[in-house]
Structure 1
Amino acid sequence: MSYCINPLCNHRQNPNSDDVEECLSCGTSLLINDRIRLIKPLRALTDNPYNYIEVFEVDDAGTQWNPVRKQRVMKVLKWNSPKLVELIERESLCLQIIRHSGIPRSTIDDFFTFVIHNNSLTLYCLVMDKIEGQNLEQWLEFNSPISQSLALEWLQQLVDILDTVHRSNFFHRDIKPSNIILQPSGQLALVDFGAARQVTDTYLAKVSGSGGTSTGRGGRYEITAISTPLYSPLEQVNGKAVPQSDFYALGRTFVHLITATQLIDLPTDKKTGNLIWRNKASQIDKPFADLIDELMALLPGQRPQTTEIVLQRLEKLPQRIKNYRLANSKIFRFSKYTLMGLVFVGGIFLSIPLAANYLVVQGEISEAANDSQSAQEYFDSAIKINPQVKNYISKFYFDKASRSTQKLRSAKKYYELSIKYNNQDVDIYNNLAFVCQLLNEFECVTINYEKALKLKPDSWSGHYGLGTFYDDQGKKDLAEQQYQLAIKINSQAIPVINNLSRLKNLKGDYNAAIALALQGLQKTKEPKLQAALYKNLGWALFEQNKLGQAKEYLEKAGELDPQRADTYCLLAQVQEALGDNDNSWLNWEACLILESKVPEVFRWRGDVLQRIRLKPNSRQVRTNP
C-alpha cells in the first residue's frame, strides 16, 4: 500500500504501484519531494487535534547526501504553529549534527516542506534512518526484570550515546523505555529527538532565570516545558531542563527495567522525596543502586554533572561491587570484629605496628566498598595505636581524591580528609581549591588558594589557579593580576602565558596577545601548548583583519592539536571572511562537534547555529567578522 500525506484526505490508503502517482481520493501527489513514498503509518492516523505529528515508514529513493534507496522513517508535522515548527527544526538540526550508530541519521536534504495544493496546507517533513528492533517498554512485557550485569551493559551503552549527544551541545529531554530500541545486534539505540534541546549561553541564561538581573531570579523568558510524567524531573516540568535532566530520566528508566514495576506503583519516601525501589531489585548491589539513586537526585546539582563522570563511575563499578561483596561477607565481618577485640583488649597476639597496619588495610577495603564511616573508624583507631601511620593515611586520601577528580563531591571529601591528617601540604589546598572551582563553591576556592599561598607565597601554580578562578568568573582584571604574579615567579610557566594571551584577546588588546603568544612559542616544544599559542596568535591577527596570517597560524594549531574546537571556530570565521565557504562549513562542523568548555566557543556556536536555523537548507553560513 501507499499512503497519502494529506491529513485532511478522507481515504488515505492507495494501491502500492508506481503507476498511481496521485491519491485516488484527494489528488495529492504520492511521490513526496520527488523521492519518497509513504508505505505505512507507524502511529494511528486520527483526527485528534493533539496528534500533531504523524510518523510513516517510507521508501526513500535517496539524495546526493544519502544516495542508497532504503526504507526509512518520516515525521510529518500537520499543524504549523511557531513552537511546533521550532521543535521539528531543532530535531532536524540535532540529527544532522550528532553522529552515533545508536542514533537515527538525517542529512540537510531530509528536512523540507510539502504544500498540499488543493488546500494550501504546509506540512513540515523530517526523514531519518529507521532503526530496527523493539523498544524496551515492549521488550519488558515479555521478559523478566533485567539482571545486574545486563543493567550495567545497557547503562554503559546509553551513557555512551548520551555522551555523544551532550558533547554535541544537545540534550534529549525525553528518555524513557519506549524511546530506547533494542536492535537485533543486541545494541541499544536512542530515538525520538523531538524534544531535544540545544545548550547555548542564551538557553542557560534563560533557565537560570536571570532575565538580565544580577540576582539570577525572576527571569522574564518563556521556555517550552516538555515532560513525560514519572520520567521528567521537577526542573524540566517547570520548563528549566538542563543536561543533567537526562540523567534523572535515565535513572528512572533503569528502575523500571530492574524492578519490572511501573513507576507509578512504587512508593516515595515522604521525607526525602526519593523513589523506594531497592526492595524490588534484590539482584542489584548497593554500589550500583547508589549510582542509580544519584542519577535520580531531586536537584540537578546533586546528580553527576557530565557523561564523562558517569562513564568513569561505570568503569570502576565492577571492582566496587566486588569489594562491597567482600566487605559484607561473613568471613570478613568475623575477622574484622575478632581483630578489633584483640587490639582493644590489649593486642595480646599482635604487635602494635602489625595491628595498626591491619586496621589501615581494613580502612582501605571499607573505603573501596563505599563504607566511609567504617574506614575513618579504622584509620582513627590505627593512629591511636601507631601515630606514624598518619602521613600514610593522608597520602591515601590525597591519592584517592586525585583518582576521582571527576567525581567532584567525593574528591572534595577526600582532600578535606587528607588535610585533616596533614595540614601543611600546599598541593592538597591547591587541588581542593580546583575541585571547589568545578563545583562552583566559590568561598571554598578562595579560602584554599589563600591558605596555599600563605604556606608558599612564591607558588606560581597557586597564583595560576587563582587566576583561572577569576578568569572563569569573568573578573578579567583580577585574573590578569594573578597571571602576572605567576609569570613573575616562573617565566617558563607556558600555561600561564597562554591564558594571559587569551585574556588579552578577550579584552581587545591584540598586540599584547600576539607578543605573549610569540614569547610562549619560543619557550615550549610541547605540541598541545604550541597549538593553544598558535590559536591565540591567529585569533589576534584575525581581529586585526590580517586574514592570510591568521589562517596560516590557525591551520598550524589544527595540525598540532586536532581536538581543539576553538581553533576550528576561528578558522571557519577566517575562511568565511576570505570567501572560502566550502572549507568554512567543514570547520564549522568540527567547531560544533568537538568537546569544549571555553565560553567563547559557546558564543561562536550559538551564532552559527542561529544562522543555520534561519536558513536550514543552506550549507553556506556567511557572517561578518
Structure 2
Amino acid sequence: MKVLKWGSPKIVEMFERESKTLRLLSHPCIPKSTMDDFFTVTPNKFPLTLRCLVMDKIEGENLQEWIELNGQISQSLALDWLQQLVEILDLIHHTEIFHRDIKPANIILQPDGRLALVDFGGARRITDTYLAKVSASGGTSTRPGNYEVTAVVSTCYTPLEQINGKAIPQSDFYALGRTLVRLITGTSLISLSTDQKTGKLIWRDKAQQIDKPLADFIDELMAPLPAQRPQTTELILQRLEKLPQQIKNYRLATSKVFKYSKYTLIVLGIIGGIFLSLPLVANYLVAQGRKLEAANNTQQAQKFFNLALKISPQSNRTISSFYFERGARNSNTLKAAKRYYELAIKYNNQDVDAYSNLAYVCEKLNQDDCVIKNYENSFKLKPDSWEARYGLALFYDNRGMYDLAQKQYQLAIQMSREAIPAINNLSRLKILDKKYNSAIALAQEGLKETDNVKLKSSLYKNLGWAKLELKRYAEAKADLEKSTKLDARTDAYCLLAQAQEALNEINDARLTWEICLIAESNQQEVQEWRLQILKRLLGEFVPPPSP
C-alpha cells in the first residue's frame, strides 16, 4: 500500500492518476488495482488527509539494483527483455495511455524471469484534451494561456520534448532505448559522452557483445526527434521479429569465409559483366533515384526512375516497393503518404496493398470518392480479399451508412473464417437495427472462432447488449461481466450498469455507472448512455414547482 502524506496538488494529481491508470490496465506484468483500493484516511487529532492506494505487490528486484550487482547483459537477454517490455507497452499504448517514466528502477525482474513495469504515477491518457495542452504549451511546463502540462523528468532517460512538457507516446521509446543502453553497457548513462554534432549517445565501445543491427535499432529508439523514432509498438514488434535473422546475416557478412567469397564473386562479376550490364545500370539509376527522393528532390528522382524503366522494364516493382515503404513510414503525414502510395501505383498498378492503403489514407483525409475508387480497384485485382472488404465496411460504418457497411461485412465473412472483426462489427449493427437474435447468433459464431482477448471482449459486449434489449437481464449481466474481465471496455461498463439496475442491484449499478462516466470513450452509444444517466441524475435534484 502506498500512502501519500503530502498535500501538494501536483503530487495528489499524480497519485490519483496512478490509481485510475491501474484500474484501466489488465496485464500479468502490471500491478492490479481496483476502485475500492483507493481511499482516504483522516487520523484523529491530525489536520491532514492521507491518500492510500493498494495494488498487487510485484515480487523481485528492480533492474537498477540488479544491474549494479550483475553487470552488463548479453545480446540474447537484451532481445528477450526488449521483447517483453514492448509487449507490455503495446497493451498500455492501445489503452490510450503512455507511461512517461520508463527506466531500470521502474522495471522489476520477477523470480520466474518475466519483467514487470511499475510506477504509473506519471502516466497520461492520450486524449484530444492532452494533445491540445501539448500543442499550446510552447515547450515549457509552465502555464500557457488556459492550459498547464506537467513535465515528468528522470535524468538521462527523459527525452527533450518531455522535459519541455510535450511528452507523446514516442517519448516512451526514447526512455526504453536509454534503459537498454544502461543494461547492455553496465555503465551509468551520466558517464557516457554525447556526439556534439548529432546529439546521439556514444555507447557502442562499452557494449562489444551487441551486433550492429541491434545497436542501430537501439539508436533509432533514442533518436533526438520523435519523428525519427518508430511511431508505434506494432512497428517495433515487427522489427524485433526480423532482428535475429538480420544479426545472423551481419555475422555472416563480416566473417572471413564471406570476405573470400566476396572476392570470388567480384571476379565472376567482371567475367559476366557484359551479359549483366543493362540490369546493373538500371539498378544504379534506381539507387540514385531513391537517394534523390530521400532528399525530397522528387522531380530529379522521377527522371532517374523513368530512365531505369526504359533500360529494364522489370525495375517497376522495385520502384513501386520503394514508394510503398515511404508511404507506410509517413502514415502520420497523410498528404505525403497519399502521394507516395499514388506513385507506388503509378509504377506498379497491380499492387493490391497499395490500393487498400491509399483508400485508408483517403478516408483519413475525408476524400470519400478516393476511398471507394481505390477499394474497387483493389477488388478487381483480388476479389477474395476479406481485409479490403472489411476496410470499405469500416469506412461506411464510420460515415453512418449502415446498410452499405452491413453488405461489405457480410461479403468479408463469406470470404474467410478469419474475418472475426467483420462478424463483431456486423453484430453491433444488427443491434442498432433492432435485429437482436441475429446479433446474438453472430456474436456466438465469432466467439467460437477466435482466441483474441480484445475481440472476445467486444463479442461478449454485443451478446450482453442484445440480451439486455430483449430484457434477458441476468444473461446480459453475465456476458457483460465476461467482457469487462477480458478488457476494460467503457461501453461494456455502461451496458453492465443498465443490466444491474434492471436486476435492482442498485449499489453495484452506481459503481459501474461511475466507471462508465469517467473512462475514456469516443463511441456514439457511450455518449448517449452518459447523457441519459446525467439527465436522470439532474432530474433527481430538480426542486418541485411552486404551488
Q: TM-score, normalised by structure 2?
A: 0.70
Cα 1:575/1:173, change in 2 over 3 Å = farther
Query: In the TM superposition, what are the counterparts of 1:613-624 in structure 2 within 5 Å?
Result: 623-624=530-531
Distance 1:453 1:550 in 2: 45
Given that residues 111 and 125 in structure 1 are in contact (C-alpha distance below 8 angstroms), is that contact kept between their aligned partners in structure 2?
yes
Given that residues 461 and 479 in structure 2 are in contact (C-alpha distance below 8 angstroms), is that contact kept between their aligned partners in structure 1?
no
For the pair 1:137 / 2:77, whether they are aligned, the reply is no
Question: C-alpha offsets along residues 257-302 of structure 1, whole Å, 9 cap, x if unaligned?
Answer: 1111111111100011000001111111100101110110111111
Given that residues 103 and 189 in structure 1 are in contact (C-alpha distance below 8 angstroms), is that contact kept between their aligned partners in structure 2?
yes
For the pair 1:190 / 2:146, whether they are aligned, the reply is no
Q: Give the match for residue 402 of structure 2.
A: 514
Distance 1:613 1:466 in 2: 33
Cα 1:163/1:608, change in 2 over 3 Å = farther
Cα 1:437/1:179, change in 2 over 3 Å = closer
For the pair 1:205 / 2:112, whether they are aligned, the reply is no
Given that residues 393 and 406 in structure 2 are in contact (C-alpha distance below 8 angstroms), is that contact kept between their aligned partners in structure 1?
no
For the pair 1:440 / 2:328, whether they are aligned, the reply is no
- Residue 612 (structure 1) aligned to one of 512, 518, 522: 518
- Identity of matched residues, %: 44
Distance 2:327 2:61 in 1: 45
Cα 1:570/1:236, change in 2 over 3 Å = farther
- What is the one-letter code of the residue matched to 2:200? N
Q: Give the match for residue 156 of structure 2.
A: 230
- What is the one-letter code of the residue matched to 2:530? T
TM superposition shift of 1:439: 4.0
Cα 1:572/1:167, change in 2 over 3 Å = farther
- Residue 468 (structure 1) aligned to one of 346, 351, 360: 360
SS of structure 1 residue aligned to 2:18 = helix
TM superposition shift of 1:482: 2.9
Cα 1:253/1:342, change in 2 over 3 Å = same
Cα 1:145/1:77, change in 2 over 3 Å = same
Given that residues 207 and 241 in structure 1 are in contact (C-alpha distance below 8 angstroms), is that contact kept between their aligned partners in structure 2?
yes
TM superposition shift of 1:253: 1.0
For the pair 1:162 / 2:69, whether they are aligned, the reply is no
Query: In the TM superposition, what are the counterparts of 1:371-382 in structure 2 within 5 Å?
Result: none
Given that residues 268 and 276 in structure 1 are in contact (C-alpha distance below 8 angstroms), is that contact kept between their aligned partners in structure 2?
yes
Given that residues 297 and 303 in structure 1 are in contact (C-alpha distance below 8 angstroms), is that contact kept between their aligned partners in structure 2?
yes
For the pair 1:86 / 2:47, whether they are aligned, the reply is no
TM superposition shift of 1:231: 0.3
Q: TM-score, normalised by structure 1?
A: 0.62
Given that residues 327 and 338 in structure 2 are in contact (C-alpha distance below 8 angstroms), is that contact kept between their aligned partners in structure 1?
yes
Distance 1:534 1:181 in 2: 41
Q: Structure 1 residues 460-469 or 78-87, which shifts more?
A: 460-469
Q: Give the match for residue 370 of structure 2.
A: 482
Question: C-alpha offsets along residues 108-131 of structure 1, whole Å, 9 cap, x if unaligned?
Answer: 221111122322421111111111
SS of structure 1 residue aligned to 2:3 = strand
- What is the one-letter code of the residue matched to 2:370? Q
- What is the one-letter code of the residue matched to 1:326? L
Report which of the two structures shows the higher radius of gyration computed on alpha carbons. 1
SS of structure 2 residue aligned to 1:128 = coil
Cα 1:487/1:329, change in 2 over 3 Å = closer
Question: C-alpha offsets along residues 486-525 of structure 1, whole Å, 9 cap, x if unaligned?
Answer: 68877987446514422431xxxxxxx2332354466452
Cα 1:127/1:199, change in 2 over 3 Å = same
SS of structure 2 residue aligned to 1:151 = helix
- Residue 260 (structure 2) aligned to one of 334, 348, 354: 334
Distance 1:261 1:462 in 2: 45
Question: C-alpha offsets along residues 453-484 of structure 1, whole Å, 9 cap, x if unaligned?
Answer: 7986x9998776544323213x2xx31x2345
Question: C-alpha offsets along residues 220-267 of structure 1, whole Å, 9 cap, x if unaligned?
Answer: 531111110110001111111111111111111111111111111111
Distance 1:575 1:292 in 2: 50
Give the gaps of 5 or more residues in structure 2. Answer: 139-143, 283-308, 448-453, 491-512, 521-527, 533-547
SS of structure 2 residue aligned to 1:320 = helix
Distance 2:216 2:426 in 1: 43
TM superposition shift of 1:448: 4.0
Distance 1:467 1:132 in 2: 48
Query: In the TM superposition, what are the counterparts of 1:29-108 in structure 2 within 5 Å?
Result: 74-108=1-35
For the pair 1:324 / 2:231, whether they are aligned, the reply is no
Distance 2:194 2:78 in 1: 23
Given that residues 355 and 374 in structure 2 are in contact (C-alpha distance below 8 angstroms), is that contact kept between their aligned partners in structure 1?
yes
Given that residues 175 and 222 in structure 2 are in contact (C-alpha distance below 8 angstroms), is that contact kept between their aligned partners in structure 1?
yes
Distance 2:131 2:317 in 1: 39
Q: Give the match for residue 4 of structure 1.
A: none
Given that residues 444 and 463 in structure 2 are in contact (C-alpha distance below 8 angstroms), is that contact kept between their aligned partners in structure 1?
no
Q: Structure 1 residues 134-143 or 459-468, which shifts more?
A: 459-468
- What is the one-letter code of the residue matched to 2:62? N
Distance 1:82 1:550 in 2: 50
TM superposition shift of 1:586: 6.0
- Residue 504 (structure 1) aligned to one of 392, 399, 412: 399
Cα 1:312/1:455, change in 2 over 3 Å = closer
Given that residues 516 and 530 in structure 2 are in contact (C-alpha distance below 8 angstroms), is that contact kept between their aligned partners in structure 1?
no
SS of structure 1 residue aligned to 2:202 = coil
TM superposition shift of 1:152: 1.4
Given that residues 464 and 482 in structure 1 are in contact (C-alpha distance below 8 angstroms), is that contact kept between their aligned partners in structure 2?
no
Q: Give the match for residue 9 of structure 1.
A: none
Question: C-alpha offsets along residues 180-209 of structure 1, whole Å, 9 cap, x if unaligned?
Answer: 112222222211111111222322333234
Give the gaps of 5 or more residues in structure 1. Answer: 1-73, 212-217, 361-386, 399-413, 417-430, 506-512, 542-548, 595-606, 615-620
Cα 1:433/1:470, change in 2 over 3 Å = farther
Distance 1:248 1:161 in 2: 16
Higher relative contact order (CA 8 A, sep 6+): 1
- Residue 310 (structure 1) aligned to one of 224, 236, 251: 236
